[in-house]
Amino acid sequence: MTTYDPPRPWIASYAEGVPADLGPVSGSLVDIVEASARDYPDAVALQFFGRTTSYRALQEQIERAAAGLRAQGVRAGDPVAIVLPNCPQHIVAFYAILRLGAVVIEHNPLYTPRELRKQFEDHGAKHAIVWSKVVRTIQEFPADLAVASMVSVDITRAMPLKTRLALRLPISKAREARSALTERVNGAVDWEDIVSAEPLPASHPQPATDDLALIQYTSGTTGNPKGASLTHRNLLSNAAQARAWVPSIVRGDGCVVYAVLPMFHAYGLTLCLTFAMSMGARLVLFPRFDPDMVLEVTKKHPATFLPLVPPIADRLLRAARERGVSLAGTQVAISGAMALPHELVVPFEEASGGYLVEGYGLSECSPVLMANPVAGNRVPGTVGLPLPGTECRVVDPDDPSRDVPSGERGELVVRGPQVFSGYYGKPEETEAVFAGGWFRTGDIVTIDEAGFVRIVDRIKELIITGGFNVAPTEVESALRQHPLVEDVAVVGLPSDHSGEEVVAAIVCTPDAGDVDVEAVREFARGILTPYKVPRRVFVVDELPKSLIGKVLRRQVRDRLLALTNGA
């Protein structure tokens, strides 16, 4: 075990039954489903539009898919791209890749071709498992990015027959729904062929604990793709920390987890793909968040553990009230990715009878670092306490070797078994975020006497909207391509619905005349994923800049805040 030199005042604030430390993990992520299949073979592992898969059946599908992928040339150490929404095939593909000792790379299937291409340029994967409607996008990559094998997944094949037939009804709305889910493609292997292979021999080598398991992309502070390299140890440790944090949640039958967060996101991946599977839970998969779909499941199988973000909690609570559906039975809802408003906590807890607590993490940390205790001493407005085995310090941002006095604000630096080893193929960027073995989070915090951590500022200029990170530089680069935009600054402004909203201030060319800001937004939609497109665009005469010509985003933000507040 690591020797804990810094004080850990937070341990005294842990909920009953939560240990101060955890023993080192062993084995690999592959063991997670294997153990649940052994302990709960007949328990429901996955539920998708009402269709269920047992742990025994899931384990068999993983072994068959691993053999099918091996036949396509996937070998230990190979990076394999997954470009899928939440669906059973996503779970099977994830563990099948790991079973071969290969490396998973998660991607947002709603990314634009340009955004996907940037990530493929970075990791260079030659194997991909892709939603059928995205296959053509990847097939149109330049020759130097061409994949050696492409597996096409029609996610409707995992739905109940009745649901699939409904999508084929000769009415326009149903046709549109089916078109949004699947598309016939050529030049790719069908997923059904992959899972029809004979199971992988039991003698096939398993991955080692310190092998690379996942490359998780994060925008970082520059807007360029950076893949956080996470090992089996990192991800196993974070799943174990999450289990330790909620000792009251039962395992196996009776444990229900809703995957309303995308599993290509670090937050959804850990709490659904690893934590839920390690609990022997019924994981209910939603391709996208739809309050009506969630509430329909809630009537029969309420979530005992519900990972979400504040906008989802708010919409779910409103919908439940409107439809008269009870949220009772939701024992623990954990909110992350943005600040959790206290005015949402009280009514949600009243409706569910359980807890709604805030947590905190980063992709580089697998991702969970902290959470409020699932107990009466939780402190709204804070991100809670460091998880068992997590070390934290608050340091001078200009000299991270120097701790600031207790209670004062400084940069949060962390160590722990969930902290990554570095960015994939980027040694300089890796060196920049570590100081004496401590990972620099870029967040300015205070820690009170009881150990609760409060985020008070960000060194990083990321905008967090709806739980997703948006790099201002990426949006600025897209807007600068507009022929009438001479200069631009992108910032985040507070939003009641999404934490922050992306807002742009543009300086137009001298001959621009009256600029249609909606046309500028429409231009951005052709380059960026929808959540990155500025909600509002302001035309300004000039942008505040430093003596060396750097745009001062903080001043831009302050001016836009004053403008929007009528000052």
pLDDT in tens, 174-208: 444 445 454 545 679 999 999 999 999 999 999 99
pLDDT value of residue 164: 81
Sheet strands (E) in 385-447: 385-386, 391-396, 399-403, 410-415, 422-423, 434-435, 438-447
Residue 547: predicted pLDDT: 56
pLDDT score, position 456: 84
**Residue 384 carries which DSSP code?**
B
* pLDDT greater than 90 at residue 20: yes
Task: Map tokens 């600040």 to a residue.
Answer: 339
Maximum distance among all Cα pairs of the chain, rounded to whole angstroms: 71
pLDDT at 4: 45
The residue-averaged pLDDT of 478-504 equals 91
Res 96 pLDDT > 90: yes
Q: Give residue 87's pLDDT.
A: 98
User: What is the per-residue pLDDT across 43-73, written as a single tens digit (0 to 9) for each?
Assistant: 999 999 999 999 999 999 999 999 999 999 9
327: its two tokens: 């949220």
Mean pLDDT of 254-266: 95
Short-list 263, 261, 264, 265, CA closest to 334 = 261
Neighbours of 308 (CB within 10 A): 28
How is residue 511 written in tokens? 């001959």
Greater confidence, 218 or 229?
A: 229
Give bridge partners of residue 258 from the DSSP assignment: 284
Average pLDDT over residues 319-343: 93
Share above pLDDT 70 across residues of the chain, in percent, rounded to a whole number: 94
The pLDDT value given to residue 470 = 86
Of all residues in the chain, the percent with pLDDT exceeding 90 is: 78
d(CA 361, CA 288): 22
433-473: per-residue pLDDT in tens? 999 999 999 999 999 999 999 998 777 778 888 888 888 88
For residue 41, whether the previous peptide bond is cis, meaning omega lies within 30 degrees of 0, is no
- The pLDDT, as a whole number, for residue 173 is 43
Closest by alpha carbon to 104, among 238, 264, 240, 255? 264
Q: Taking the CA of residue 278 as centre, how many other CA atoms within 13 Å lie in the half-sphere pointing to its CB?
A: 22
What average pLDDT does this structure show over 109-138?
94
Q: What is the mean pLDDT of the chain?
A: 91
DSSP assigned state of 73: T
Least confident of 311-315, 351-355, 390-394, 511-515: 511-515
Please say if the pLDDT value at position 422 is more than 60: yes
Banded model confidence at residue 342, pLDDT cuts 50, 70, 90: confident
